[in-house]
Amino acid sequence: MKNKAKECICTKLWMPVCGENNKTYGNACEADCAGVKYTEGACKDKLQDV
């Protein structure tokens, strides 16, 4: 696991983005800090097999 050299400080502003890992982040700053590419808007829920 990589150690991040910088500390990320993000606001709590809710402007969801969907990461390439299909995880919804609260805003672009959070996704950037996680090191993932993203698109605007929350991720669509996927149906899971039971």
Domains and CATH numbers, the chain: 11-43 (3.30.60.30)
Round the average pLDDT of the chain to a whole number and report it. Answer: 86
More confident position, 38 or 2: 38
Q: Give the Cα separation of 24 and 19 in Å (integer).
A: 6
The pLDDT, as a whole number, for residue 3 is 52
pTM summary value: 0.74
pLDDT of 23 over the 60 cut: yes
Q: Give the Cα separation of 43 and 24 in Å (integer).
A: 5
